[in-house]
Amino acid sequence: MIDSHCHLDHEPLFSNLNQVLLRSKEIGIEKILTICTTKESFKNILDIIKFDNIIFGTFGIHPHESNKDILSKDDILKKITSNKKIIGVGETGLDFYYNNSDKDSQIKSFKNHIDAAIHLDIPLIVHSRNAENETYELLKNSKNLKILMHCFTGSDSFVKNLLPLGAYFSASGIITFANSKNLQETFKRIPLDKLLVETDSPFLAPVPMRGKKNEPSYIKYTLGKLADLKNIDKSKLDKITTDNFNKLFFQ
């Protein structure tokens, strides 16, 4: 089992890493990917990935933060090439729902992250909200790009556009929510070899843990729901999503 996207630098996870890791290992998690969203958070991520062999990290600037920091391609390359446990670029992308940063800065930042991911030949972790067309236009023109659509909540048509690009789609606790019927139907149609699971902890705790701070060990609930949607044994889906993660990040 692998949590492909969480934020161990956020509280209450950061102050309780020992217990968070213990509970993760108890349910069989073998890798955790903790995601960078700001330059400041990267400092903590560098400490966190030293904490245990199963923890890996990324480097990138969230679209919410792109007004404050627009990293050049070279800025990103320097941060990532200096540590072998930093295995992805992001979290990056476009968020035109909240618009915490203006569209131009988000697009410029996203392009620089895309260029860095292509140069390094490592996955790009993409956040996309209310920006399907713009996200697709930038991704489709980028050759030899490894794409991971994190916490995917997009449409069927977005999936159909992204699959020819080789994109992977990560299911979060949102698929367990009662009001996510359309998203559940979308995940039923995504090929098994393109699926990952994540917690996005400490956010988006899945049913039956709604209302609590999320953590990596809760991945078992999302995996169980996805197995039900795909009409497949949970242990079989566990192996498939684990193999998919290892193929994407380590091959």
- 151-177 tens-digit pLDDT: 999 999 999 999 999 999 999 999 999
> b/e map of 40-63 (b: 16 or more CB within 10 Å)?
ebbebbbebbeeeebbbbbbbbbb
User: In one letter, which amino acid is 171?
Assistant: A
- Residue 128: band (very low, low, confident or very high) from pLDDT cuts 50, 70, 90: very high
Cα distance between residue 36 and residue 15, in whole Å: 17
What does the pLDDT read at residue 68?
84
Local structure of residue 214 (DSSP, 8 states): P
Cα distance between residue 189 and residue 75, in whole Å: 38
* Strand extents, DSSP E, the chain: 2-6, 31-34, 55-59, 86-95, 124-129, 147-149, 168-171, 195-197
How many H-runs (helices) and E-runs (strands) does the chain carry? 9, 8
What does the pLDDT read at residue 232?
97
* Average pLDDT for 121-143: 96
User: In one letter, which amino acid is 244?
Assistant: N
Q: Tell me the C-alpha to C-alpha distance, in Å, between residue 245 and each of 135, 137, 146, 169.
A: 22, 25, 12, 11
- Residue 143: band (very low, low, confident or very high) from pLDDT cuts 50, 70, 90: confident
Q: 90-114: per-residue pLDDT in tens?
A: 999 999 988 888 999 999 999 999 9
Please name the residues in contact with 229: beta carbons below 8 A apart, sequence gap of 6 or more.
175, 184, 187, 188
Cα distance between residue 87 and residue 123, in whole Å: 8
